[in-house]
Chains A and B, each alone.
Chain A
Amino acid sequence: MTAANSPRARGALAVALLVVVVALVPAFVHSDYVLNLCGVAGIYAIAVMGLGILLGFTGQMSLAQAAFFGIGAYTSGWFTVNLGWPVWPAMGLAVVLSALVGLAVVYPCLRLSGHYLALATIGFGIITQLVLINWKSVTNGSDGMTGIPAPQIGSFAFDTYGRYYYVVLVALLVCAYIAWRIKTTRVGRALEAIRENEIAARATGIDATRYKIIAFVLAGAYAGLAGSLLAHDTKFLSPDSYSFDQSVVFLVMLVVGGSSSIGGAILGAVLLTFLPEVLRPLKTSYIMVYGAAVVVMVIFMPRGLAGLLTVLRARFVRGAPPGSGVAIPVAPGVEPA
């Protein structure tokens, strides 16, 4: 057998094909509305992937992802609008600052897990949003921030939805690659060991504290990048977008997608970005149907979309091992007695 037939090579080929198809979307889709949604879905996918590293890989709950998202967005907005920074360094700074805030938040949280951790992060998220609303001299309060520029290379500005799509796509691919590298190397195995049983992980010599810090910082950095990308996409910031509800949306996207699968995080983000739009003909009741759909999906897709796809693949594709890459519990943490 040649190397080209190995599962790994076939997987790489499938991913490459998928990337080419996704990259061609703006060539066939000319609706700004749809292209914008695609961009937003990609941005959400980055934030959700960050949460996936924290919750899916490491088993640490966070409901503050929207706060890091907001910190990234406002950093980008403030430095480009008020100090006239070019977009790319502002984006870099947004990532660094959100990662640093992640580092500051993780220390008090190291002793906590499960619901306690969820609660502490909710507290942090709500305080962050109140600061965004009330620190008017910097954030302009509820009026929000306007006039955020689009990124450009030389004189080429990514100022249409079709062009910005590629900025998001490149960022998404880089983030997915980093997440995949983490997952398939020593760090990922350490994170997984902590998720399964922190005490046992410590007993085998894993520095659980250090790896939990890494996971938190990465989650913050991913969300910060996503926030920055959204700021230069919508060109407008309002504190309403960084609420507890947005953190919940990220969590739901992750769990519906499949919590420790990178593809699942992306699928969940895309599906749940488009679902409300598809449901829009239902007018006022569409969010209600969305809520019900979430319950139905959690009940009937125990491993999320990623798990569902693997099951379908095992059933319909000859030679695909049953459950390959599936063995991912949706629920880290303690089972009820």
Chain B
Amino acid sequence: MPQFDLVANTQLLVSGLAIGSIYALVALGFVLIYNAVGVVNFAQGEFVMFPSYVAATFLLPAVTVFGAVVHWQLPLVAVYLLVIVVMVGFGLLFNRIAYYPLRDRGWLPVVISTIGVSIFLRNAAQLVWGSQPLVIPGLFPVDTVTVGPLHIRPQDLAIIGVTSLLIAFQYVLFERTTLGKQMRATAQDRATARLIGVRVGRIVAITFVYSALLGTISGLLVAPLFTVTKEMGALIALKAFAASIVGGFGSIPGAIVGGLAIGVVETFGGFYISSAYTDAIAFVILIAVLLVKPSGLFGERVAEKA
């Protein structure tokens, strides 16, 4: 029996919570869109990938765009603002192209069109930025800081902090503002929401934009830990999807808890069990949850609702 190593385990916990926060943010994006329009967005990963590339273009001193080297480096704050503006437009356009023309056709055509957009975006990214991975700087100049015996990545702490703030913001938005109440009403029952004067089409568009911004923030936070590639969003999105089922699909607290749980279990499992199967852990948890309690940890509706 190996000695229980408090330091190593604390470090694992921090990393696990950080990557779990990313899953939670992306899972929230899934759940909000699902609640608003009844469809799972398979391009959610590209909501993470695309803004990371846009940020990289303006954060790095030299980037290859369409085969030409450009020097468009801007200050960090300016880049973040720019990316947010771009992604608001992106969310509106995505709603208009991938969802709106198919809104009366059931869920499968919408799923296929989000898959089509996802294929398009990944390969558009390769066309524009090439296949070389880009490395973007984090919020801090150093990779790790030493606190007593602990070596902690400050970026991990930033991820956990920003995610907590966002969750608090979202709580206020949904519980205290008219816009949030309209979003909840739309999610609950679109027909009734429309009857009481909610402009459902506009709320749906806002939901897509909000979901795109959640993806943006997770991309900007996680990209410094990995690299920016056209595939970076795909696995994050699948695990976030698993997280939202584990938590109970459609449930906002479920998405957060599910994301954190998968991040932590996966980090510990990768360390103690097998690093080759790290990526399988999320899905093993998922299948176990589906077997034991298909409605998830916080699910209220039955699994047959789909």
Excluding A109-B290, A288-B123, A332-B108, 20 further A-B contacts by CB distance (< 8 Å) are: A112-B303, A115-B107, A115-B306, A116-B249, A118-B40, A120-B287, A120-B290, A126-B279, A251-B112, A251-B115, A291-B120, A291-B122, A291-B123, A295-B120, A298-B102, A298-B113, A334-B38, A334-B305, A335-B104, A336-B106
| Chain A interface mostly | helix
Asked if A176 CB lies within 8 Å of chain B CBs, one says no
Q: Report the separation of the CA atoms of residues A118 and B291 in the bound assembly, to the nearest whole angstrom.
A: 14
Q: Would you call B304 and A111 a contact (CB within 8 A)?
A: yes
Query: Which residues 78-124 of B have a CB within 8 angstroms of A?
Result: 97-98, 101-109, 111-113, 115-124
- Nearest 3 CB-CB pairings of A with B: A114-B306, A331-B106, A291-B119
| Chain B interface mostly | helix
User: Which A residues have a C-beta under 8 Å from some C-beta of B?
Assistant: 61, 108-109, 111-120, 122-124, 126-127, 130, 133-134, 244, 248, 251-252, 255-256, 259, 284-285, 287-288, 290-295, 298-299, 302, 329-337
B31-69 interface mask toward A, CB cutoff 8 Å, 1 = contact, 0 = none? Answer: 000100111101000000000000000000000000000
Asked if B127 CB lies within 8 Å of chain A CBs, one says yes
Selected A-B contacts with CB under 8 Å, 14 pairs: A108-B290, A112-B303, A116-B245, A116-B303, A122-B283, A123-B284, A127-B283, A256-B112, A288-B119, A295-B113, A298-B109, A332-B106, A336-B103, A337-B189
Residues in chain B near residue A259, CB distance under 8 A: 108
Q: Would you call A285 and B123 a contact (CB within 8 A)?
A: yes
Residues in chain B near residue A252, CB distance under 8 A: 112, 115-116
Q: How far is the CB of B203 from chain A (nearest CB, A)?
A: 14
Q: Report the separation of the CA atoms of residues A143 and B267 in the bound assembly, to the nearest whole angstrom.
A: 27
Asked if B135 CB lies within 8 Å of chain A CBs, one says no
Residues in chain A near residue B1, CB distance under 8 A: none
Q: Would you call A127 and B280 a contact (CB within 8 A)?
A: yes
Q: Would you call A294 and B112 a contact (CB within 8 A)?
A: yes
Determine the interface band of chain B, counting residues with CB < 8 A from chain A.
35 or more
Beyond A119-B242, A295-B120, whether A330 also contacts B115 by CB under 8 A is no
Q: Would you call B284 and A113 a contact (CB within 8 A)?
A: no
Q: Report the separation of the CA atoms of residues A291 and B116 in the bound assembly, to the nearest whole angstrom.
A: 4
Q: How far is the CB of B71 from chain A (nearest CB, A)?
A: 24
Q: Would you call B109 and A291 a contact (CB within 8 A)?
A: no
Q: Would you call B106 and A298 a contact (CB within 8 A)?
A: no
Q: Would you call A287 and B287 a contact (CB within 8 A)?
A: no
Determine the residue in chain A with the shortest Cβ distance to B37: A336
Asked if B241 CB lies within 8 Å of chain A CBs, one says yes
Q: Report the separation of the CA atoms of residues A92 and B106 in the bound assembly, to the nearest whole angstrom.
A: 38
Q: How far is the CB of B292 from chain A (nearest CB, A)?
A: 10
Residues in chain B near residue A287, CB distance under 8 A: 119, 123
Q: Report the separation of the CA atoms of residues A302 and B120 in the bound assembly, to the nearest whole angstrom.
A: 20
